[in-house]
Amino acid sequence: MLELITGLLFVLVAAGTTWLGMRATGWRTRGVRRLAPVTAKPGRRIPSPSVVWRRLVNRIAALVPASPRSLAQLKQRLIRGGFRNPNAASYFHAIRTVASLLFAAGGLLWAWGSGADRVVMGTGAMAAIGYIVPMQVLLFFIRRRQHAIGRGLPNTLDLMVVCVESGLGIDQTTIQVAKELQSAHPEICSEFTVMNLELRAGKRRAEALHNLADRTGVEDLKKLVAVLVQTDRFGTSIAQSLRGHAEYLRTMARQRAEERASKLAVKLVFPIFFCVLPSLFVVTIGPVMTRLVRDLMPMIENM
């Protein structure tokens, strides 16, 4: 009997020890899993719309042929419009191709059922319009950006004069101008920032200034670049040259405004003739004609 009780106690102690060991191992495993980083389960990845659009644009741009000369001119126009992405030319070709196809499809739907000749002419005309519209939009962006640069150039010159007279060099002046006028004139500040990056990369100052003029295409900025290059070459006073050029730009802006004001009278002839005079005739002659008709018609009928 004593041996049986001893055996049962041994079995119970062994079972309890085994159960506690298994529970301790489970606790340890759960703790390690809780502390380990969570790894996402591999599943089906859905690409974002931007990635799909970029791949589609690259494929369409690869199918569109472009000559090196036209590609260089297009890149220059894109830079002047403010698009500095390395793949901007490819995107533009893809957008032009997609616009041509969409406009052609619209022309086909519009002229469907009107005869084969009209369908062909409508589709071709709408495809040509879709091919032209992206370039016209780009030219609009270029003109708007050039106008913004020309408008902010006199204020930029005034701040450059202040910086040069305070003892800064031309490189530090452009850096300071790019920082101070970032909110007022961001277009010209971005161009100055690119010029400063070119100078840090090791380009000569004259070359960086000429690149600045080529990137923008603004005539007033080209004149400023010429003044700065001559000042740097001959060692004349930078502050005096900048002040004189600022006065010249303000004088030219005043003369352009006076020229536009003098052309205003001639430009108003057609709106006055087609819009103001007909209403004036209706107001002045209308009641008289109404009274004449009302008084003369009974007299004519009685005769």
Taking 70 as the threshold, does the pLDDT of residue 51 lie above it? no
pLDDT in tens, 201-252: 888 988 999 999 999 988 888 988 888 888 888 877 888 888 888 888 888 8
State the DSSP code for 274: I
* Whole-number average pLDDT of the chain: 81
| pLDDT of res. 286 | 79
Angle at 231 between CA 185 and CA 169, to 5 degrees: 60
pLDDT in tens, 147-160: 999 888 888 888 88
Query: Which range, of 4-8, 52-56, 87-91, 149-153, averages the lowest pLDDT?
Result: 4-8
Taking 90 as the threshold, does the pLDDT of residue 139 lie above it? yes
pLDDT in tens, 173-210: 888 888 888 888 889 999 999 999 998 888 898 899 99
Domains, the chain: 56-143 (no CATH), 146-265 (1.20.81)
Residue partners of 134: CB distance under 8 A and separation at least 6: 92, 95, 96, 99
Q: Tell me which of 34 and 290 has the higher pLDDT.
A: 290
Residue 142 structure tokens: 């270029």
Residue with tokens 């150039």: 153
